[in-house]
Structure 1
């Protein structure tokens, strides 16, 4: 039996979201342990952040080794891990230049600035960026304005102007928004917060063709879908297209604060003074990022993500049929189970509070569950999660 833990004194932590009265103290692979000694099978992984699970040995070694050499020389200088990670990213993508940031929102903010800078020089000051309903690009004022999340247009009004909203997988809805002020289209290949909604290949190819024909940049926000999450190193590679700009976050750092803005040579038009950041590209974080990308590129790793994604999809479809739900969707190991009613929040609570071991899942919409396990999750852990889910669905039904 778990011993009761001391009362948590959390009075100094600013309230931004309801949190359960427990503290996570240890993690290993797909498992978290709280201050009561209770373990949780983690299919959240920090919202797709811990792509290699908790306390990955390669990441720990990279941190320890680099911390003994150099932590932060300032962004006024090159450092070796910054260069090594930049090369890894460009050698395995269609992009030529990389700017490192600390969060996906910051990378997306940089993408907006880069597109507008390019528009000043190449499109007579065009600045509008078409985004999509139900999209999520971050929590800065500009990225919230770019996002299509309901209610965000009034939360911190007035919004930053210049982000008309189209409908995902509807090329006509994009075309009708284009004016002489349009500089770019910004899209998540898989809308994560919107409910794990993949873009279709037909739509993405039509979008790329249309943007090229009209001298409009294509920006892919891969903060959630990138870095192996969909079974390829980058999600755009599923569509046989080459975007102009890509942003990465979450998985690129495997749990440390790291993000990236990538662009082709033709678009990388920043000049000194346009972009910067105190910690951006520091060797401690980029050394970890290099370890993450090297592990993702190891022979067979991405293939294993695709295989496990197929297993998770199959298991979720089986659950859907068994409980008369509405199916599943996603790509690789970013998947959602559509529920038949608004029981998502209840299932999340039951899963967390389950004994003797809990389960961590997410419900970005009331009628669906989202799954973002570590990319090296085992097949046994996938089956274990699905069996727990069956147990919970029986409780609520």
Structure 2
């Protein structure tokens, strides 16, 4: 049945993904189950989305209750969840103003527009962005334009002009690109798709200093590394800096499609006005109910602190694993956003893992990415390591 089902789906969809040859039915905790009842330990979490795991009854009930009241109104009107969700994200992000949208890619598009509108309002003549090599910011034209991978860009050129690329964690390469046309510098505090690369404190504080000295905006893309993933609500909070614009999505709704970008008051006052940017579905009642309940659970259960603790345990076990397998070149990451760089093909590893009931995803060309639900315990980590021990050379 599964094979016939997969073939029918493939015939119905545009071929832009290469999904694993399984059909999922339901989930519980850190496990997903296929239509045959086989369990899969999930260390992908829907690309770092399902932070509360699967089957969280409190979260489920929040959305069920909301759908009985309102599912959609558009942003012509406030609804009862607007204030609750916006204030929750303000509280945990340390930012001043929130704009809700539908995805991380949309959040990036809004952030880029806000940075150019800020420069326009200031009459500075600035319009260029500095982005990072090996970065990934999304699939829209603006997002692809600031993504530092030629493979993502070449089929869609010409892209949005005015983008220069610096080397990640190389402050001098950033300084060399700053001109009187630079309006913003965009980066991920932890690069996800680029290979789980963690920014150094010197790099982030140095970029903050460059921005302050030149009235350039600092944009932190925390679509993947944010919302508790690295051991704090947002990764930048561990560096003693604050961005001017912050993008978020994925885990903020725990599986409900929602994104947001956040501005400091300084940027909000001098950038987007009514008519400059919009969204039909962004910030709808269901999305805001998902955000508000997700943040509530995070705060009550102290999930970022749990992530820091279990992330340290995961890192230690991965380093021990590396000592037993020469194919592991390095271990890297922060919190529950970890990776192992391999000298063997990733596809072989992920296929063998799938056969043994473990869901894994890659990052870049040679890194296995571990971004499980944040609720995992040492038990799930030990199961991961046991399976990896069996399949690695």
Q: Deviations 1:151-208 (Å, cap 9, x if unpaired)? A: 2231111111111100111111111111111000001000000000010011111110
| Cα distance in 2, alignment partners of residues 366 and 91 from structure 1 | 37
| Residue 298 in structure 1 maps to residue 300 in structure 2 | yes
- Which residue does the alignment assign to 1:274? 276
Displacement after TM superposition at 1:299 (Å): 4.9
Q: Of residues 323, 326, 342 in structure 1, which corresponds to 2:325? A: 323
| Residue 195 in structure 1 maps to residue 199 in structure 2 | no
Q: Deviations 1:20-44 (Å, cap 9, x if unpaired)? A: 3331111111111112221111100
- Which residue does the alignment assign to 2:4? 7
| Cα distance in 1, alignment partners of residues 339 and 123 from structure 2 | 40
Whether the 8 Å contact between 1:223 and 1:250 is mirrored in structure 2 is: yes
Displacement after TM superposition at 1:350 (Å): 0.8
| Cα distance in 2, alignment partners of residues 27 and 53 from structure 1 | 8
- Which residue does the alignment assign to 1:382? 381
Displacement after TM superposition at 1:58 (Å): 2.2
Question: What aligned pairs does 1:229-244 form with structure 2 within 5 A after superposition?
Answer: 229-244=229-244
- Which residue does the alignment assign to 2:207? 207
Question: What aligned pairs does 1:102-113 form with structure 2 within 5 A after superposition?
Answer: 102-113=102-113
Q: Deviations 1:210-246 (Å, cap 9, x if unpaired)? A: 1101110000000000000001011110101111000
- Which residue does the alignment assign to 2:340? 337
Three-state SS of the structure 1 residue aligned to 2:139 is: coil
- Which residue does the alignment assign to 1:72? 72
| Cα distance in 1, alignment partners of residues 302 and 223 from structure 2 | 23
Question: What aligned pairs does 1:164-175 form with structure 2 within 5 A after superposition?
Answer: 164-175=164-175
Whether the 8 Å contact between 1:344 and 1:365 is mirrored in structure 2 is: no
Displacement after TM superposition at 1:125 (Å): 2.9
Q: Deviations 1:65-85 (Å, cap 9, x if unpaired)? A: 111111112211112212111
| Cα distance in 2, alignment partners of residues 188 and 196 from structure 1 | 10
| Residue 125 in structure 1 maps to residue 125 in structure 2 | yes
Displacement after TM superposition at 1:5 (Å): 4.6
Q: Which segments of 5 or more consecutive residues in structure 2 lack a partner in the other structure?
A: none
TM-score w.r.t. length of structure 1: 0.95
Q: Deviations 1:297-316 (Å, cap 9, x if unpaired)? A: 12532211111000100000
Q: Deviations 1:242-291 (Å, cap 9, x if unpaired)? A: 11000001011111100111001110121111111110110111101111
Whether the 8 Å contact between 1:230 and 1:306 is mirrored in structure 2 is: yes
Three-state SS of the structure 2 residue aligned to 1:213 is: helix
Whether the 8 Å contact between 1:248 and 1:260 is mirrored in structure 2 is: yes
Whether the 8 Å contact between 2:196 and 2:363 is mirrored in structure 1 is: no
| Cα distance in 1, alignment partners of residues 197 and 360 from structure 2 | 17
Three-state SS of the structure 2 residue aligned to 1:261 is: strand
Q: Which segments of 5 or more consecutive residues in structure 1 lack a partner in the other structure?
A: none
Return structure 1 stretches of 4+ with deviation > 6 angstroms.
Answer: none
| Cα distance in 2, alignment partners of residues 95 and 372 from structure 1 | 25
Q: Deviations 1:123-169 (Å, cap 9, x if unpaired)? A: 52311111000000000011001100232231111111111100111
Question: What aligned pairs does 1:130-279 form with structure 2 within 5 A after superposition?
Answer: 130-268=130-268, 269-279=271-281
Three-state SS of the structure 2 residue aligned to 1:309 is: helix
Q: Deviations 1:332-374 (Å, cap 9, x if unpaired)? A: 00000122x13211100111122xxx10011223322110000
- 156-165 or 360-369: which moved more? 360-369
Three-state SS of the structure 2 residue aligned to 1:164 is: strand
TM-score w.r.t. length of structure 2: 0.96
Whether the 8 Å contact between 2:29 and 2:56 is mirrored in structure 1 is: yes
| Cα distance in 2, alignment partners of residues 21 and 193 from structure 1 | 22
Question: 1 or 2, which has the higher helix percentage?
Answer: 2
| Cα distance in 1, alignment partners of residues 145 and 302 from structure 2 | 40
Change (3 A) 1:6 1:132: closer
Whether the 8 Å contact between 2:2 and 2:23 is mirrored in structure 1 is: no
| Residue 287 in structure 1 maps to residue 269 in structure 2 | no
Alignment: residue pair count: 387
Change (3 A) 1:31 1:299: closer
| Cα distance in 2, alignment partners of residues 225 and 214 from structure 1 | 27
